[in-house]
Chains A and B, each alone.
Chain A
Amino acid sequence: GAVVSQHPSWVICKSGTSVKIECRSLDFQATTMFWYRQFPKQSLMLMATSNEGSKATYEQGVEKDKFLINHASLTLSTLTVTSAHPEDSSFYICSASPPNEQYFGPGTRLTVT
């Protein structure tokens, strides 16, 4: 089946620094990628929808200047958490979507100290 990778799988950073998370579709082209956030023992909340070659669409309450999303190609989307704070610590999961399917990456655990 289709494979979506995320890198890094986990990262620890200091407060105030920026962290970039990559989401790649390895064997298919993804016209759309989604970024979700999951707090401990909670469900996934959609952060933004990323379409190749256009600006991401952010969900209400998600700061677009803090969570920068770039979908530079049909196989790569990046999420950059800028000026990270401890409250940004979370599990970030991407999914990639060719037409009529959706495949999830393994997730990136971010810890901000």
Chain B
Amino acid sequence: GDSVTQMEGPVTLSEEAFLTINCTYTATGYPSLFWYVQYPGEGLQLLLKATKADDKGSNKGFEATYRKETTSFHLEKGSVQVSDSAVYFCALSDQGNTPLVFGKGTRLSVIA
């Protein structure tokens, strides 16, 4: 079945550092790919998404490119802030109304 593998955390960075969180996937078809963010005690918020190969999703300085050849969707941000501290989940969906398959999540802590 479909699966998502993302780098294990926790990841601790200093403010303004460069962030990369790796995500690779296995799917039989051509899934849509997502990054969700979960702040402490809260639900999931969609951070960005990409629906086809070579699409780049971006939001709030974060970006990720759908790489079909490497089955990857790595999350990047050029300069992290303390407010970016959260858990980040990579996910995929085969179709719009099918359940998401989530990675295990990566906890990011940004220190001032």
Contacts and interface: CB of A to CB of B under 8 A. Distances in A.
Interface of A: 6, 31-32, 34, 36, 41-44, 46, 49, 93, 95, 97-107, 109
B43 A107 contact: yes
B42 to A, nearest CB: 6
Interface stretch (B18-26, B60-68, B75-83, B100-108): B100-108
Given A93-B43, A107-B42, A100 B104 contact: no
Nearest to B51: A100
B93 interface: yes
10 tightest Cβ-Cβ pairs between the two chains A and B: A100-B96, A106-B43, A107-B43, A97-B97, A104-B44, A43-B104, A46-B99, A43-B102, A34-B99, A32-B97
B35 interface: no
8 contacts: A36-B99, A43-B102, A43-B103, A43-B104, A44-B44, A100-B96, A102-B100, A107-B44
B43 A102 contact: no
A6 to B, nearest CB: 8
A31 B44 CA distance: 20
What is the interface residue range for chain B against chain A?
Answer: 10 to 19
A49 B99 contact: yes
Given A34-B99, A43-B89, A102-B93, 6 more contacts: A32-B97, A36-B99, A41-B107, A43-B102, A99-B96, A104-B43
Nearest to A98: B97
Contacts of A32: 97
Given A42-B105, A43-B105, A44-B102, A97 B96 contact: yes
Contacts of B95: 100
